[in-house]
Amino acid sequence: MLLSEWIMTIFTGLIGIGGMWAAIFDVPAVFQSNKIGFLDRRLGHSATRLVVGVAGFLIVLLAISFVLIPPR
């Protein structure tokens, strides 16, 4: 893999870990942002935390797939 692919993989993984971290530790700044706040008002707080956590997990899986199946 090229250096640029490793950088993309690392940043993608960090974004996913950040999403899971925000959902697990209930970070208020994340849930008060415009788009997540919209979901929070529509779905409720616990459902929004679940959505953010699952999205973060899927992004981590995407980063793992970059290592297993390099983009070309």
What tens digit of pLDDT does each residue of 43-53 get?
999 999 999 99
What tens digit of pLDDT does each residue of 18-34 get?
999 999 999 999 999 99
Residues 72 and 70: their CA atoms lie apart, in Å, by: 6
Residues 32 and 36: their CA atoms lie apart, in Å, by: 7
Q: What's the mean pLDDT when you consider all of the chain?
A: 94
Report CA-CA distances (Å) from 14 to 17, 46, 58.
5, 23, 12
For residue 72, pLDDT beyond 80? no
**Share of residues in the chain with pLDDT > 90 (%):** 90
